[in-house]
């Protein structure tokens, strides 16, 4: 290994299983260590894999303060993907571990999935497809158009803004609630900024685009879900832990919520089978960024992050 090359370990299966990203990385860093398994490494297994390396390329793997203490050589974490809630950023900052990361690389890919979910939920496609697969010819079931609906966005950052653009041909009334000032974007795209109360009360389709923080963990519990319209379609492509799955199941079962679609689940990679089995729920296994174009963009950002990085912000 050349003396000026960092010791790199790539734990992310999504990166390691991609032939183009693998080739581009090895062309620059031929001694990089790649995870040969298609499964995510966690805990002691991840520590063992990263031990002795200065750079870790991570996707959905969790990195805690205790794990960092067991990795004294670690200097940089380069992130595949835009979420950082699986990293203890304060612990990284305290230990001088730098972060290579760029938000927004998979935003369009996730936004397109949101549109697909909205159509699926409004037209009962999940339940109808399940009936066909079971050999049944279900009776005609009336759905609703996405066109002209009131669509609410809880959070209107990179992903939410792409959703707004994709909704333009549908003529929807778009509402948004965000702690950041997005007034210039709202004015340019006909979005109405509303309070959280109004967002919940009016949205016929509500899509979540907020980060997982101590404040948002479990935010959409029974009390919050009770404020939604009974004909609302709830979409979560953010983080599974934002929604209380038990409360969601209860409301879907008794018809107090029309439908829900999610690409993320609490406790991933485990899934809540009781939720998956509901006819008015449609789920996907965290594929929001799994469009070829998005995966390449995220992977190349992760490669750049090996050398372009900074201490996480407070």
Task: Provide the token pair at 33.
Answer: 């260590």
CA-closest candidate to residue 25, choices 12, 38, 37: 12
**Whole-angstrom distance, CA of residue 146 vs CA of residue 165:** 14
Q: 239 with 264: CB under 8 angstroms?
A: yes
Q: What is the mean pLDDT of residues 45-74?
A: 98
Question: What is the average pLDDT value for the chain, to the nearest integer?
Answer: 95
Q: Supply the pLDDT for residue 139.
A: 81
Q: Supply the pLDDT for residue 242.
A: 98
Q: Supply the pLDDT for residue 102.
A: 84
Q: Supply the pLDDT for residue 1.
A: 42
Q: Which residues are catalytic?
A: 239, 268, 286
Asked if pLDDT for residue 84 goes beyond 70, the answer is: yes
Asked if pLDDT for residue 32 goes beyond 70, the answer is: yes
Q: Supply the pLDDT for residue 141.
A: 84
Q: Supply the pLDDT for residue 304.
A: 97
Angle at 236 between CA 233 and CA 237, to 5 degrees: 135
Q: 263 with 118: CB under 8 angstroms?
A: no
Asked if pLDDT for residue 3 goes beyond 70, the answer is: no
Q: Supply the pLDDT for residue 46.
A: 98
Tell me what percent of the residues of the chain surpass a pLDDT of 90: 91
Asked if pLDDT for residue 295 goes beyond 90, the answer is: yes
**DSSP labels for 49-97?**
HHTT-SEEEESS--B-HHHHHT-TT--EEEESSS--TTB-HHHHHHTT-
Burial 253-289 (b: 16+ CB within 10 A, else e): eeeebbbbbbbbbbeeeebbeebeebebbbbbebebb
Question: Of 10 and 2, which is predicted with more confidence?
Answer: 10
Q: What is the mean pLDDT of residues 110-130?
A: 97
Among the residue ranges 134-138, 176-180, 181-185, 225-229, the one predicted with the least confidence is 134-138
What predicted TM-score, i.e. pTM, was given to this entire model?
A: 0.88
Sign of the CA dihedral running 224, 230, 234, 240: positive
Q: What domains appear along the chain, each with residue ranges and CATH number?
A: 8-105+292-304 (3.40.50.720), 107-283 (3.40.50.720)
pLDDT band at 12 (very low <50, low <70, confident <90, very high): very high
Give me the residue label for tokens 């778009």: 174
Task: Provide the token pair at 18.
Answer: 């991609």
Asked if pLDDT for residue 95 goes beyond 70, the answer is: yes
**Whole-angstrom distance, CA of residue 125 vs CA of residue 107:** 24
CA-closest candidate to residue 233, choices 260, 201, 253, 202: 260
235: three-class secondary structure by DSSP: strand
**Whole-angstrom distance, CA of residue 22 vs CA of residue 43:** 24
Give me the residue label for tokens 């009016």: 202
Q: Supply the pLDDT for residue 83.
A: 84
Asked if pLDDT for residue 261 goes beyond 70, the answer is: yes
């Amino acid at each position: 290994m050349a003396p000026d090359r960092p010791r790199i370990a790539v734990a992310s299966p999504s990166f390691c299983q991609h032939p183009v990203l693998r080739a581009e990385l090895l062309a620059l860093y031929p001694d990089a260590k790649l995870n040969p398994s298609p499964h995510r490494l966690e805990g002691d297994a991840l520590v063992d894999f990263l031990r002795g390396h200065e750079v870790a390329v991570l996707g959905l793997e969790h990195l805690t303060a205790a794990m960092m203490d067991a990795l004294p050589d670690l200097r940089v974490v380069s992130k595949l993907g835009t979420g950082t809630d699986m990293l203890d950023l304060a612990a990284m900052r305290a230990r001088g571990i730098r972060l290579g990361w760029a938000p927004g690389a998979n935003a369009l890919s996730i936004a397109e999935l949101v549109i697909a979910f909205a159509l699926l939920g409004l037209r009962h496609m999940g339940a109808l497809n399940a009936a066909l697969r079971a050999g049944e010819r279900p009776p005609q079931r009336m759905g609703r158009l996405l066109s002209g609906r009131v669509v609410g966005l809880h959070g209107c950052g990179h992903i939410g803004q792409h959703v707004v653009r994709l909704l333009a041909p549908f003529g929807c009334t778009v509402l948004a609630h965000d702690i950041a000032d997005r007034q210039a974007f709202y004015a340019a795209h006909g979005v109405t900024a509303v309070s959280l109360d109004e967002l919940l009360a009016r949205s016929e389709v509500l899509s979540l685009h907020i980060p997982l923080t101590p404040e948002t963990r479990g935010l959409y519990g029974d009390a919050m879900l009770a404020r939604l319209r009974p004909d609302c379609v709830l979409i979560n492509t953010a983080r599974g832990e934002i929604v209380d799955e038990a409360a969601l199941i209860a409301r879907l079962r008794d018809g107090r919520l029309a439908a829900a679609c999610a690409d993320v689940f609490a406790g991933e990679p485990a899934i809540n089978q009781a939720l998956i089995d509901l006819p008015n729920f449609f789920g996907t296994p965290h594929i929001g960024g799994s469009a070829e174009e998005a995966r390449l963009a995220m992977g190349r950002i992760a490669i750049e992050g090996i050398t372009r990085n900074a201490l996480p912000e407070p």
